[in-house]
A and B are shown apart, each in its own frame.
Chain A
Amino acid sequence: MNEGGGRPMACRLWQDTVVDLVVGAAPPARARAFRRHRARCSACRGEYASARSLATALHATPVGNGGGVAPNPEEGRSEGMPVKRQRGPLLTLLAVASLAIILLSINLAREPAPVAEPVAAPAAAVPAPTPAEVPPPTPEPAPDAAYAGRTAGNEATIAIAVKDGRAVAYLCDGKKVEAWLEGTVDGSVLSMRGPDGATVTGELQEGAVFGEAAAKGKKWPYSAALATPPAGTYRGSVSVDGVLKRIGWNVLPDGTVTGIISDANGVGPAPPLNPDARTATLDGVPVDVQLVTGRAG
């Protein structure tokens, strides 16, 4: 940096020292000697001044602070650079915080609907598990009930749990598409929403629900019959090798089990569920399985 055209040239002997001083690599003894020499030599004074101003221009932050090149202890403060408060690191902090907040708000904006709180064991709403796989058609549509069925083209299974005017549905194709939805029951009309625009609407008719389910940009009509355990929706969670995985299963009145397992890395087919015993294992690890009976409260 001491070869710039038009700038004064330092004495050959001191050229390296000028550079060392500016980048902060000059030993104190040499710095002192240079200072004595500089007092007498205008060429070296000029070279030193222009080298420092070049360094200032090159560095976003002034020499003589913690952010950049280590300044020479002898030279840092008294001359050359204006000393001001370092803003670079604070701007870095600000940038990091802003990025984090932006990403977090994107996540929050896409927040999936709160998933039904599983109620441990057979709750009051659901009769004790009956091993029979016959759907007992109860004539009166009880306010608290579960329904399970399929979409019209058998693309996916759906199970809906109604409790205290709230409805929870799990839509699952057993391969890739799944959605937990939550909503309300108004008279005989069900309306539920899930993440990424998933919706399930339906109407209660004589112990069954008929309606439309939409997820991942597709829409299917479905029908779901009244279901008693073991039919219904089950949720499981298991931690394998330190990775938390969640599972959803739909058990249809005919005994069909469809499930999806998901972790932070994606989704896949769920391990088999034993609906009667409410047990499942993944890689030898027992899964914590719970029947979903609707959102409590």
Chain B
Amino acid sequence: MTSSAPDPYTAAAPAPRPARHRGHRSGTAAVLVLVAIGALVAVALGVYGRLHEPGFFSVNVAGFSSPGAVKSWLATTAFLLALVQLGSALVMWGKVPRVVAPSWIGGLHRWSGRLAVLATVPVAVHCLYALGFDASSPRTLVHSLFGCFFYGVFVTKMLVLSRKDMPGWALPVIGGLTFSALTALWLTSAVWFFTTTGLTF
């Protein structure tokens, strides 16, 4: 759990803790395996989105004017939770000066993350099923690519979390990529939706 960057508490320590059980090399190899699994997930989603004939219709959620509005609000929820993710991760890793991680920060991080990713699932299913991988405009192309990437990197992150022999840099890097991907997805979907159709429910 030691990141490569110095933090206020451990900067004076002689060296970050060496990778957990085994040496750094096997840890890095294990990360590569998990990254490969994530990459396969991303590619599989992209292939499905490309090959599946867009159904164009999908189950709507009651109470909203359109699937676009539902998706935009769900994505916005996920993005706000992702901000909680970023903040709690920084606190947990001692990156916020003069803030000592409270005992509940781990729970906050886990549960905000779970809710965030669960909120994205209906959005992604609708995207994949009803719309597919769409390269017809820059926005949809970027969105499609990041959508596939996000779930790939999410799978990798969950797998990294479940292992103990990961090098210290793995989690911050992969977590950062997850957050960045979600931000890009939100910018290319919900923000676009709200700026073109207005703040509708």
Contact = CB atoms under 8 A, between A and B. Distances in A.
A129 interface: no
Contact of A242 (B9, B103, B139): B139
Nearest to A1: B103
A96 B13 CA distance: 39
Contact of B57 (A96, A99, A112): A112
B67 A264 contact: yes
A136 interface: no
Given A96-B118, A107-B55, A66 B110 contact: no
B57 A86 contact: no
Contacts of B94: 25, 70
Contacts of B122: 99, 103
Nearest to B89: A70
A27 B13 contact: yes
B110 A111 contact: no
Interface stretch (B23-31, B78-86, B152-160, B176-184): B152-160
Given A66-B160, A90-B158, A103 B121 contact: yes
A100 B121 contact: yes
Interface residues of B, number: 61
Interface in B114-134: 114, 117-118, 121-122, 124-126, 129-131, 134
Size class of the A contact interface (CB-based, 8 Å): 35 or more
Given A66-B1, A70-B1, A70-B101, A86 B121 contact: no
Interface string B2-44: 1000000110110001000000000000000000000000000
A235 to B, nearest CB: 12
Interface stretch (A42-50, A55-63, A146-154, A213-221): A55-63
Contacts of B160: 66
Contact of B110 (A58, A88, A90, A244): A88
Contacts of B103: 1, 22-23, 55, 58-59, 69
B105 interface: yes
Contacts of A90: 158-159, 162
A89 B161 contact: yes
Nearest to B127: A264
A93 B121 contact: no
Contacts of B109: 68
Contacts of B56: 244, 246, 262-264
A25 B65 CA distance: 48
Contact of A107 (B113, B125, B159, B161): B125
A20 B124 contact: no
B68 A265 contact: yes
Contact of B12 (A27, A65, A262): A27
Contacts of B121: 96, 99-100, 103
A111 B67 contact: no
Interface in B51-102: 54-59, 65-69, 92-94, 100-102
A263 B196 CA distance: 15
A13 interface: no
A212 B72 CA distance: 40
B114 A95 contact: yes
A132 B100 CA distance: 83
A73 B106 contact: no
A58 B13 CA distance: 29
A230 to B, nearest CB: 26
Given A86-B162, A107-B55, A107-B125, A69 B101 contact: yes
B158 A107 contact: no
Contacts of A130: none
B162 A85 contact: yes
B15 to A, nearest CB: 10
Interface string A91-135: 011011001100110110011100000000000000000000000
Interface in A16-48: 20, 22-29
Interface centre among B10, B65, B154 (most CB of A within 10 A): B10
A22 to B, nearest CB: 7
Given A25-B94, A28-B10, 17 more contacts: A24-B101, A59-B106, A59-B107, A66-B163, A67-B110, A68-B107, A89-B161, A92-B114, A96-B117, A99-B122, A103-B59, A242-B134, A242-B136, A244-B56, A244-B134, A262-B57, A264-B56
22 contacts: A23-B101, A25-B100, A29-B13, A55-B103, A65-B161, A66-B166, A66-B171, A67-B106, A68-B106, A70-B92, A73-B10, A86-B161, A90-B162, A95-B118, A96-B117, A96-B154, A103-B121, A107-B125, A112-B55, A242-B140, A262-B56, A265-B68
Please name the 3 residue pairs, one residue from A and one from B, whose CB atoms are nearest each other, closest first.
A68-B106, A242-B137, A265-B66
